[in-house]
Amino acid sequence: MSQSNKTANLFKRIAKNVAPPPILTVSQWADQYRKLSKEASAEPGQWRTSRTPYMREIMDAMNQAWVETIVMMTSSQVGKTEFLLNIIGYFIHQDPSPIILVQPTLELAQAFSKDRLSPMARDTPELKDKIGTGKSRDSGNTMLHKSFPGGHITMAGANSAASLASRPIRIVLLDEVDRYPASAGEEGDPVSLVTKRSTTFTNRKRVLVSTPTIKGASRIETAYENSTMEQWCLPCPSCGEYQPPSWDQIHFDSSGMVCKHCGVIHAELEWKAGEGKWIARKKNRKTRGFHLNELASPWKRWETIIEEFKEAKKSGIETFKAWTNTSLGESWEEEGEKLDEDALYNRREMYSSDVPDGVKILTAAVDTQDDRFEIEVQGWGAGHENWRIQYHVIYGDLKQPRAWTELDEYLKRSWRDAEGRLFSIAATCMDSGGHLTNEVYKFCKERAARRIFPIKGESPGDGTYLPLIIGTSTNNRYKATVIRLGVDEGKFKVMSALGVLPVDESGNKSVGYCHFPLTTPDKNRGYERQYFDGLTSEVMQKRYKKGVPYYVWVKVKVRNEPFDLAVYNRAAIELLQPDLDNMQPFCTHSAIVKTPAAAPTKRRRGTSSSV
């Protein structure tokens, strides 16, 4: 090749590198450049917006100069994470800017960086050379902070004020905002805190994405109601009238949907064959809000959603709540009323034996006080139907071995059913709070083979969601496997179960009903007025922190041990995870589950407390 040709090629390469990128919208960029990674997608390869046509308008709202905030209130299975990734990829490649992505916790932020952002950067060639390696020798890039020509992206946790206090940010991405705490430490609402970082940019953009949770304390629902409140609408195949896919219009027998205008039922694929569009219900120039439910998803058939609805209705109130949030993309309205202890007391019934018919397995819970152990044994059957078996108190000086020996003997005993079969306790959760933490750890460690586990309740008290079973830790003197419990979720599950009636509105037996035994002349099982007073000792109330609403459990009576023990028993059955619908009664000491793996979990300062 001649020198002149070499020079010409050199200038061509230089011109290509310095030329401004083509002017594209976010959806156009994704269709042209974005590659889906095999680790995170069931359909790896080139992104196609046509696969999720409802996403085009949401993504391209980022390119509308007058729009400052985009709100996306959705169910699961509609592609909201890919939406965020497309925005990130677009601004790295087309319009370099400082970006922040906020997850509910720092741990989730790290997982997003590792499991979603890094694979996208690796598999999308236009991003691969722009984002650094993240190795230690590259000081500009870490797991939570990555620089690129013209900008950078920070991954932050809403629970960490320090991670939110970054330099000025133009693009603010807020994921799962309903899982954020009410305040990031003492700094205030994390949404407001990070939004302030963008005030110096006239072309700032803010995106809020979440599945809604509880009505009245849902950030995403509040934001949506202050937006254009747009719905994804499809034309009726018969009359052509546009309407959003609505659960109220779903026809179970045909798995189709009834048109609310002409009344004709059409199949799912007929509805989805039409060209959908977003229809706004309010005017708002700066904030566009979009609501999507699972009925719009290309990955979920209506037939499957109907079956999941039926299963959720059968499985109890907490499962139905989760279905409402994650399938319909709608908030759940709490009753907010305290259960009547008299009503619970008056529904006590006569048991024909120590263990009533229907019980498959027994669990126990132990509350540790300075002068006594309070113990409750519960039975569990199909659909988490529950029978209280016995409430027992052991008094004594817990600094002396006698009370511990008596507790050990009690947890070894068996209960007999009407057929004469003996039921032993399959698992026990024991409170390790208070002044006897090390004694509890030692007692449980020595009895781990009997599945007697120490538990530590955690309740941040700021609206942060924690699952009932958070994880385990062995960071203690005796290396005992401590089960970390999200007690707020446990209390909700217990209270929801107590509200289940014997039969549903159709007259069928309800799922998850709780039974209480009557006292008989020859046996006092411990279920007297005092027990029901303690069982209804807490109520859920709305609170505000720096103007942000959240719910908290409030103690309204002096003693709450029965309520705590109900939570521990619920944790015990969830640890075991037996197949209650199909298993035979557990009448021996043989193991049905493995001991939870000892996986120490880093505990956040200030978020752990005894129940």
pLDDT in tens, 576-586: 999 998 998 88
CATH of 347-526+559-576 among 3.40.1280.10, 3.40.1350.10, 3.30.420.40, 3.40.190.10:
3.30.420.40
List, in order, residues 6 or more apart from 568 with CB less than 8 Å away: 365, 366, 367, 429, 430, 431, 455, 485, 490, 611
The rounded radius of gyration (Å) of the Cα atoms in the chain is 28
Tens of pLDDT, residues 273-314? 999 999 999 998 899 999 999 999 988 899 999 999 888 877
pLDDT band at 355 (very low <50, low <70, confident <90, very high): very high
Mean pLDDT of 459-479: 85
Q: At 308, list the tokens.
A: 């999941």
Residue 360 confidence (pLDDT): 95
Q: Which two tokens stand for residue 369?
A: 């006080």
Residue span(s) of the chain under CATH 3.40.50.300 come to 26-229+280-292
Q: Is the pLDDT of residue 58 over 80?
A: yes
Strands 98-103 and 151-157: parallel
The mean per-residue pLDDT over the stretch 212-223 comes to 87
Region 499-522: mean pLDDT is: 81
Class of domain 26-229+280-292: alpha beta
**Helices 26-33 & 80-93 angle (0-180, nearest 10):** 90
Domain with CATH 3.30.420.40 in the chain: 347-526+559-576
Strands (E), 476-532: 482-486, 514-515
Residue 473 sits at φ, ψ, to 5 deg, of -145, 145
The confidence band for 600, taking pLDDT boundaries of 50, 70 and 90, is very low
Sort strands 415-416 and 386-395 into parallel, antiparallel or unpaired. unpaired
Confidence category of residue 22, pLDDT binned at 50, 70, 90: low
Could you give the 3-state DSSP secondary structure of residue 532? Answer: helix
Q: pLDDT tens digit string along 62-95?
A: 999 999 999 999 988 788 899 999 999 999 999 9
